[in-house]
Structure 1
Amino acid sequence: MSLNYSTYQLFVPKYADVDYESASDIIIENAEKRNSFGVSALAVHGLMESVKNPDLKSLIDKIDLIVPDGQPVRWALNSFYKLGMKERVYGPELTLHVLEKADKNGLKVYLYGSTKDTLKSFRLFINTQYKNVHVCGVHEDRFREATEEEDQSDVQKINESGANIVLVGRGCPRQEFWVANHKDKVNAVMMAVGAAFDFHAGNIKQAPAWMQLNGLEWFYRLTQEPKRLANRYLVTNSMFIFRFLKFRYFLRRPF
């Protein structure tokens, strides 16, 4: 029986009204069938990239399930649509829910993206915590776009591996481009959850729970990686706030 879910547009993306349980159920249902199904955990940064980037904007609708990764996204959706979402659907946490259910079903997972060392550590984490999940392949990021021949080879390797789920860790928005562009090519659920690779590989510490609950994870991560994340959080978050106020109180619509 197919699991249905409603979507609500916020500026550009159409976010699903889901929680961890329902989102992971949807993913596992499609994974068992090896459907070509795209998933993105899209926080403020990804949302604003889709607003600024016409190419990403045109592709974002190809992604089947977009979940509200950030607390500000959840707050905005609740404000516009009165949804009553009680929690965000955070990519790294969603990954754990999916792996737990994949473990119960003995599914195959393919890791695509990130660095050799991170992939090694992430694979070890999965093998240790989820013994019935078979990591059927890994692919280190080239940190450039693949040639047509390379891409065809990548797709062939993934499909021949029998993967049910491809975890994609290429950073936003590169991973969203990859997922959208490989719909109907890769016979698996493709999850754009880049931060999950570094967190679960042990490269980066997650913010304390109270900061996550109060939408302050961005501040914690900024203190950890100020040079890399300053523009993303200070500029992008300000743009989000401005756009939210404009659409909420002047245009009185969410897009």
Structure 2
Amino acid sequence: MDSVTTTPDDRRRCSVLGIPVDACRDVCAAAIGLHVRGGGRIVTLNAEMTMAAREDPDLGDAITSADLVIPDGAGVVWALSRQGIRVLRSPGIELAWSLLSYAARHHWRVALIGAAPAVMESLRQILPAKHPGLDLVMAVDGYQSAERWPGLESELLKLKPDLVLVALGVPRQEIWSVRLSEDASGLWMGVGGSFDVWAGTKKRAPAWMGRLQIEWLYRLIQEPSRWRRMLCLPAFVLEVLRRGERVSR
């Protein structure tokens, strides 16, 4: 069995506009190391979530109390670079996929929560085929009645999964994970639209757009209704420039 080790010193907690984010040498090693130490919550931070967290105290608290906050968005990476902190962008979808691969090889129990019923049905077939040996102990879509959620949550906690991937959208997935993981072990991670991509109902931006850091434009083309949400991006840039955050000595 392969072994991956890390230490708490593998990451350095920084902040962007007052919202915490971790600078890591290897986000996957940091996540696996977190599992070794009993588990915790992982948040993937981008510019949109940063701005939302400044307005939503519950989301802000969920990010602040997370055990690992990775720089998912190009804007966050840019803001950190202005502080003299050089990190690579770490897309949450790629970390989640790496953790699924690791889970299959190391006999972790995995739970999937969220997305549409058809998407979850596809994932029940696709993920075990892509990750032979994957122990998928729960796969529940996010379109459950209010009456069903307490029972599903109780069942999830009894299963004691090693990895819980939650696709309920921001901020619901982060706030829900705070409540459920309070007395639980394992890794809990919000994955946004990753399930839709894995199921093939949505596509990621081409690699060249990622290199140019304009994946946001691809998402806007796919979902024009997101334009109002995208207004936070120039606001984020202006606020970073206004505050003039620099590396602390």
Normalising by structure 2, what TM-score? 0.88
Report what 1:61 is aligned to: 64
Q: Percent identity?
A: 26
Partner SS state of residue 178, structure 1: helix
Distance between the aligned counterparts of 1:29 and 1:220, measured in 2? Answer: 34
Report what 1:112 is aligned to: 113
Distance between the aligned counterparts of 2:177 and 2:43, measured in 1? Answer: 8
**Cα RMSD, aligned residues only:** 2.2
Partner SS state of residue 47, structure 1: helix
Within the candidate set 141, 153, 173, 1:155 is matched to 153
Partner SS state of residue 194, structure 1: coil
Counterpart AA for 2:90: V
Q: 5 Å matches for 1:27-176?
A: 27-31=31-35, 35-80=38-83, 82-85=84-87, 87-142=88-143, 150-151=149-150, 153-176=151-174
Normalising by structure 1, what TM-score? 0.87
Could you report, residue by residue, the CA deviation over 1:152-207 in whole angstroms, capped at 9, with x for unpaired residues? x3332112223110000011111111122233233321011112111111111111
Distance between the aligned counterparts of 2:243 and 2:109, measured in 1? Answer: 43
Distance between the aligned counterparts of 1:96 and 1:124, measured in 2? Answer: 15
Report what 2:242 is aligned to: 246
Counterpart AA for 1:103: A
Report what 2:218 is aligned to: 220
1:25 positional shift: 2.1
The number of equivalent residue pairs is 242
The answer to whether the 8 A contact 2:54-2:60 is kept is yes
Report what 1:183 is aligned to: 181
Distance between the aligned counterparts of 2:18 and 2:129, measured in 1? Answer: 39
1:253 positional shift: 7.3
Distance between the aligned counterparts of 1:173 and 1:183, measured in 2? Answer: 16
Report what 2:227 is aligned to: 230
Could you report, residue by residue, the CA deviation over 1:58-100 in whole angstroms, capped at 9, with x for unpaired residues? 33212111101011111111211x2221x21101111111112
The answer to whether the 8 A contact 1:63-1:179 is kept is no
Unmatched 5+ stretches in structure 2: none
Report what 2:199 is aligned to: 201
Q: Is it true that 1:17 corresponds to 2:23 in the alignment?
A: yes
The answer to whether the 8 A contact 2:43-2:63 is kept is no
Unmatched 5+ stretches in structure 1: none
